[in-house]
A and B are shown apart, each in its own frame.
Chain A
Amino acid sequence: MKLSLNFVKDYIDLDENLTVEQIAEDMTNHSSEYDEAGKLINATNLTIGLVEECEMHPDSDHLHICKVNVGTEVLNIVCGAPNVRKGLKVIVALPGAKLPGGIIKKSTIRGQESNGMLCSMLELGLESKYVDEIDKTGIHELPQDAPIGEDPIKYMELDDEVIDFELTANRGDLLSVLGMAYELGAIYDKKVKSIDLSHKENNENINDSFKVKVNTENCSIFTAKKVKNVTIKESPNFIKSRLIASGIRPINNVVDISNYVMLETGQPLHFYDADKLNDVIEVRMAENGEKLTTLDGIERTLHDGNIVISDGKKAIGLAGVMGGLDTEITENTKNIIIESAIFNSVKVRKTSNELIRSEASNRFEKGLDPNRTYMAQDRACHLLEKYADAEIVGGTAKYDTTSLEDTKIEVKFEEINRVLGQNIPEKEILNIFRRLGFTYEITSNGAIVSVPKRRIDISIKEDLNEEIGRIYGVNNIDGILPALPMRKGSYDKTTREIRNKMIGLGLNETLSYILVAENEAKQFCKDENESIKLLDPMSEDRSTLRNSMIPSLLNIYKYNESRYNKDVSIFEIAKVFNKKEENYNEEQHLAVLMAGEYYQGIGNSKNVDFYIIKGIAEEILDYLGYKNRYSFIADSNKIAKEFHPGQSAVISVNNDIVGTIGKVHPELAKNVYVLEINLDKLLAKKVGKMKFKEISKFPSVNKDISLVVDKNIESQELTKQIKKYAGSKLSDIKIFDVYTGAGIAEDKKSISFNLVFSDKDKTLNDEEINEIMQKIIEGVEKSSGAEIRKG
């Protein structure tokens, strides 16, 4: 909302020394923030001049040498405008003038002295939509009665200042100059002046020849007045300049008055050419497929959610949004029907979002005061009579279901202070209500406040608390901390522990999007769950919620790879989503992706392989307390097709699958390893507690054993068997070598174990050790066909 200070000063006296910047700051602290505040025309050192002589420049085919009388002197000015001529009244920028385009200096143009510049409105910084064709190609032509030597900006009544406010959705009342006047009145404790609605009405009555019908609940009030014999002409300067300051292009006096009244009162008006109407106006919902050509010349197809104005036969206007082309005001219009009405804000908002936004729809959307509906009618009649020679037909045709009464709200002083946390005296509270223009009756501990309908945002006592708070000034309230019982708050420590552990393991944490392309969403997933699609995605690439985090990390890998970041070891803890039997599920996952070099250093560098990422998985599982409770199972039925079938496994904890690990299928990416764990599932599992175990005081005994087994026997199984046959004296077991090749049959492999035996009560002797070893050898031979490797 662009507020013209000249406009608002019609309704409120502001202190002379209040600058536009100060007003904007005060409004920011008490009411609404602003984007910009400053002069409408930002140009200095201008004066009105008369071109007394105008001759062609001898060395140019388009420049003129002018003698311009500026009252105190006659200046020599070179001007290139095609319309400059003897006898023209012009805007002269004197040397030293600051224009939006730069500073004007005395100069010599092709040998001719030039002491200033003749200006067009564009050069003064006016947007091109407000200027006519003459100003676009040449200089501005002032009327012949313009006084030489005077300030042209003042003469054109453009000496205005403007604040561009950013209003919040609830303050529809501030979309009017009157509303702004009340707001400034509250802030500066000034009274708002009354608006001049006076006009004469003739002996006719509109209701004798014209009917208003409302056939929808989406119109609460509709009023129509008729004026006759208007003269269409240019608006007076003050109307034009205030429209420009408010961001609206002046057209002619009648159209301008309808916009002027909307700016003043907030109530949009619509003027119909009465001679193009029948004797009835009807408000109804559009029919599906109904057509209407709006003022902008575009034919629009409507539906039953659009409110339309009809002449009894066809739609002639889109209620609250834009009028129809057929009944618009033209240069030949003589008689006018003025519409002032209130339409359902939600319907108007939807229609304007669908079709076109306008100054009017913006106001209907935020809600309006029915008192202003009548006020706007009368104000329009007043201005049309004064500036368009209109004859006002008596009476108003209307339909009205609204109440014009104030809203009464009871407040308690103690409660206001309880919410604000401040001790504002009763007198001060009542004073603020008075400044806001609210009347009140005092009760034993508070007041019953009458809030005028113009403040449609106020309906409950909390709204009045807010009014007190903002006029008193929230920046005048001292901040304190709430006095609540002392305690330590809680947070999700485990996630943070996991994050820190992963970082300690050398992984970089990422932040990825949960939305992926539809074909990516279910990659790396081997379950029956569906993926979830957005109803209205922004792009195909971000159309679906991911079921797995691996596609997100794989995209990050590809982004990095294409930038020659070859060594990528990343992780993230975030949500994945799925749909199962009409239920939406969301789970927290940990995902890891590793590629390129992991260990670095001369002679020690090593590229990521399955066992490195497996090490990451084990580190995190051990750290979380699942030591000895997990296994890696190579089961092709449970592995998604995006994995390398021979280098992947599911991770099982307490015999339940919690994740997957493996190499990405070579067709998707080269030498990339990934890991994904469902943290919700994992963390619900029982963990082993960290508890001290007595350490044997006696030395332990080390034994190595190499077993030859079938190639497809997994080391995990063999280890399990050894543990089983060794019994309680085996305190540790490690695999230190796996060998295939010379000396071992083609379909066999040799696995070498280092076994550690100990007893808490004694040192084990050879005999005891040999007995256990024998048991192991016999056991694994029977269970796995293992043989001791010879030689």
Chain B
Amino acid sequence: MKEQIEQIKENSIKELSNAKDLKELNDLKVKYLGKKGELTQVLKTMGTLSTEERPIIGSLVNKVRDELNELIENKEKQLKQIELNQKLEKEKIDVTLPASKNKRGSKHPLNRVIEEIEDLFVSMGYDVVDGPELETDEYCFERLNLPKGHPARDMQDSFYITTEYLLRTQTSAVQARVMMANKEKTPIRVIVPGKTYRREDDATHSHQFNQVEGLVIDENITLAHLKGTLEVFMRKLLGENTQLRFRPSYFPFTEPSYEVDVSCFKCGGKGCNLCKQTGWIELLGAGMVHPNVLKMNGYDPEKYTGFAFGTGLDRLAMFKYGITDMRYLYRNDVRFLTQFDQMDT
């Protein structure tokens, strides 16, 4: 009987190790360990054995059965792993195929520049304010010390709707509104980004364009404050090494008035095509708020002073992203728009 058991063990181990899949393994399990299995059959004949032999054979059968069970278990794991690997192999895909996604969104470069400027000034305590684009002559000109017939109105050929209403030629129109609204005369710190309109259209002028205006009014606001503020503004926007140059100029709503150049950010001031070899790029108009403007809008010029500045945003956006033609900004070619689809670094 002992030999018989050893024979079963030897046969079963051989067959189990050759099993090719889980089904064959299961069949072998039934063949040897099932109710009618060969090893189970051996146990059933135990009755014929002597009492001395019985425990010896019994423990031998149990030992073989345990060995077989362990073997089957291991084999099962092994076969399952093989089957899983085959399945995974079958499921292999081409990861380089295009992704499923919706269209790519993008923010217009002009609004990118506006948001950057807004964030900078908001962090310095400025409010971003808006005003009507369809403005009155009173706010666009008269309250800014530009009475009817003033020659400086010629510089801003306007789109009139009636003799009183026009599309604003400058965001400065909002200056008077902000002053008039501030009855408590708390310090004014505002910027006004927005659309402006002038009656001109050529390669470098669009009849619709964008400006940002800045206005600060309080007691003891000085020209030095204007300088300091514009230095921060331009250096944050164009780089810490940017130099500023103030040139005396004339705007009816400021006194004194300046045009402000920045050192050319392309060549660093050495002279290049962008700055027309001058090393400077004219970027802002600025000055101290004219006493007439303060007076007309409810401020006592003996007590309050202020500064104002303005700059064209279209050019800033062009400089920032290297856009070569202003008309791209308004054509809205999808091939242009989709280029502005990542975060600004």
Contact = CB atoms under 8 A, between A and B. Distances in A.
Interface string A471-487: 00011011111101111
Contact of A477 (B218, B224, B257): B224
Interface stretch (B29-37, B38-46, B267-275, B324-332): B324-332
A424 B191 CA distance: 31
A479 B250 contact: no
A287 interface: no
B88 interface: no
Contacts of A460: 255, 291
Contacts of A168: 249-250, 257
B207 A584 contact: no
A560 interface: yes
A513 B107 contact: no
Contacts of B149: 346
Contact of A586 (B132, B207, B257): B132
Contact of B208 (A479, A496, A513): A513
A489 interface: yes
A101 interface: no
Interface string A486-515: 111111100010011011111111111111
B260 to A, nearest CB: 10
B84 interface: no
A474 B227 contact: yes
Interface in B72-127: 97-108, 110-111, 115, 118, 121-127
A379 interface: no
Interface in A28-51: 28-33
B123 A479 contact: no
Interface in A345-361: 345-346, 349, 353
Interface stretch (A1-9, A227-235, A533-541): A533-541
A750 interface: no
Interface of B: 97-108, 110-111, 115, 118, 121-128, 130, 132-134, 149, 151-152, 154-155, 159-162, 165, 167, 187, 189, 195, 197, 199, 201, 207-208, 216, 218, 220-232, 244-250, 255-259, 288, 290-291, 301, 305, 329-335, 337-338
B207 A536 contact: no
Given A169-B155, A462-B290, A511-B332, A601 B100 contact: yes
A359 to B, nearest CB: 16
Given A422-B224, A477-B227, A489 B123 contact: yes
A559 B333 contact: yes
Given A466-B248, A479-B230, 19 more contacts: A28-B247, A345-B151, A349-B154, A418-B220, A462-B288, A462-B290, A477-B224, A480-B224, A482-B216, A482-B221, A490-B128, A508-B105, A509-B105, A509-B107, A509-B108, A514-B208, A515-B159, A545-B167, A602-B98
Contacts of B127: 489-491
A570 B130 CA distance: 24
A559 B107 contact: no
A466 B201 contact: no
Given A465-B256, A475-B245, A506 B222 contact: no
A535 B162 contact: yes
Nearest to B305: A419
Interface string A603-616: 11000000000000
Interface string A585-612: 0100000000001111111100000000
B134 A584 contact: yes
Nearest to B218: A484
A477 B115 CA distance: 30
A201 B274 CA distance: 59
A326 to B, nearest CB: 31
A599 to B, nearest CB: 5
Contacts of A465: 255-256, 288
Interface string A442-484: 0000000000000000001011011001100011011111101
A114 interface: no
Interface residues of A, number: 93
A532 interface: yes
B97 A170 contact: no
Contact of A482 (B218, B245, B247, B248): B218
Contacts of B125: 484-489
12 contacts: A349-B154, A421-B227, A462-B256, A465-B288, A488-B122, A491-B118, A510-B337, A535-B162, A542-B207, A563-B335, A568-B334, A574-B195
A61 to B, nearest CB: 45
A264 interface: no
Nearest to B126: A489
Contacts of B124: 481, 489
B142 to A, nearest CB: 15
A784 interface: no
Nearest to A511: B108
Given A460-B291, A509-B108, A509-B337, A479 B224 contact: yes
B151 A507 contact: no
A547 to B, nearest CB: 13
A574 B194 CA distance: 10
A565 B250 CA distance: 46
B248 A470 contact: yes
A170 B146 CA distance: 13
A602 B94 CA distance: 12
Nearest to B158: A536
B59 to A, nearest CB: 52
The 7 residue pairs across chains A and B that have the minimum distance between CB atoms? A421-B222, A421-B224, A601-B100, A479-B227, A466-B256, A168-B250, A479-B228
